[in-house]
């Protein structure tokens, strides 16, 4: 007979595998990278053909593919949820106004999230607003957990772990696990050395594994 404890251990292994190997619910790492490469390639083509007549069309394509991801990014950064939509729109306007300045030497992802992060930091400094406590519930729901007891315990455990992360680690966590950004791309977005990025990701993985293992043994 499979006990609750056995189920917890199974889910723990399943969860860590999915998170540390960067496999999402919709994509394997390989297929996700193919998808993102095609998306960025299409965006690059559109931006290269940018002119006053088609600028709105190009921006509309970017909006459709990046707006929801931007909202998610802001959700882990802002405590005032009423401001998220306004912030997202301000950032998208900034993206629109700077499309003709996009540097093709950088990944579009890197360029986009660098603008988003810098805008967010400026806003937080100006308003002296604290970062929001991280909520992992949406991620857990995507893993199709049927046992509510396990789900609730795991949500609480993971949220507590992420809440204790520094501002930098929260954003690295998002960029690495959910945007599949490379060390180099994260380094550019966060404006920190690649070695620091690697070490922080190692710390994040280690802390999550240890904490969840303690809670579910």
Q: How far does Cα 108 stand from its chain's mean position?
A: 15
* Single pTM value for the model: 0.58
Residues in Cβ contact with 155 at an 8 Å cutoff, skipping those fewer than 6 apart = 136, 137, 140
Q: Is 145 helix (H, G, I), strand (E, B) or coil?
A: coil
Residues in Cβ contact with 14 at an 8 Å cutoff, skipping those fewer than 6 apart = 143
Q: pLDDT, tens digit, for every residue of 183-211?
A: 899 999 998 999 899 988 888 888 877 77
Contact between residue 44 and residue 104 where contact means Cβ atoms under 8 Å apart: yes
Q: What is the tally of structural domains in the chain? A: 1
Q: How many other β-carbons are positioned within 10 Å of the β-carbon of residue 125?
A: 9
The length of the chain, given as a count of residues: 217
- Which domain does 201 fall in, by range? 4-216
**Degrees to nearest 5, angle at CA 112 with 109 and 118:** 130
pLDDT of 28 reads: 54
**CA dist., res. 111 & res. 48, Å (int):** 15
Per-residue pLDDT at 92 exceeds 90: yes
Per-residue pLDDT at 213 exceeds 60: yes
Query: What integer is the mean pLDDT of 101-118?
Result: 89
Buried b / exposed e over 66-91, threshold 16 CB at 10 Å, is: beebbeebbbbbbeeeeebeebbeeb
Confidence of residue 112 (pLDDT cuts 50, 70, 90): very high
**CA dist., res. 27 & res. 34, Å (int):** 10
Which of 149, 143, 191, 151 lies closest to 171, judged by CA? 191
Query: What integer is the mean pLDDT of 30-52?
Result: 84
Q: What is the largest CA-CA distance in the chain?
A: 67
pLDDT of 204 reads: 85
For residue 100, the domain's CATH number is 1.10.1740.10
Confidence of residue 14 (pLDDT cuts 50, 70, 90): very low
How far lies 67's CA from each of 21, 128, 141, 143, 159, in Å? 26, 25, 21, 23, 24
Q: pLDDT, tens digit, for every residue of 71-91?
A: 888 877 776 677 888 889 999
């Amino acid at each position: 007979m499979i006990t609750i404890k056995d189920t917890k251990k199974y889910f723990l292994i399943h969860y860590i595998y999915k998170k540390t190997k960067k496999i999402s619910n919709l994509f394997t790492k390989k297929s996700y990278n193919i998808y993102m490469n095609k998306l960025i390639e299409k965006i690059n083509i559109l931006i290269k053909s940018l002119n006053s007549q088609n600028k709105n069309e190009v921006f509309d394509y970017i909006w459709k593919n990046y707006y929801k991801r931007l909202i998610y990014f802001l959700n882990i950064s802002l405590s005032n949820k009423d401001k998220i939509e306004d912030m997202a729109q301000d950032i998208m306007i900034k993206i629109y106004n700077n499309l003709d300045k996009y540097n093709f030497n950088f990944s579009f992802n890197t360029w986009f999230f660098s603008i988003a992060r810098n805008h967010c930091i400026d806003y937080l400094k100006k308003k002296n607003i604290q970062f929001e406590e991280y909520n992992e519930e949406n991620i857990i729901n995507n893993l199709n957990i049927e046992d509510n007891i396990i789900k609730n315990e795991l949500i609480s455990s993971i949220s507590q772990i992420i809440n204790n992360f520094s501002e930098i680690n929260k954003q690295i966590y998002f960029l690495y696990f959910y945007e599949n950004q490379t060390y180099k791309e994260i380094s550019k977005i966060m404006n920190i050395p690649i070695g620091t990025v690697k070490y922080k990701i190692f710390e994040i993985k280690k802390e999550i594994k240890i904490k969840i293992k303690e809670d579910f043994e």
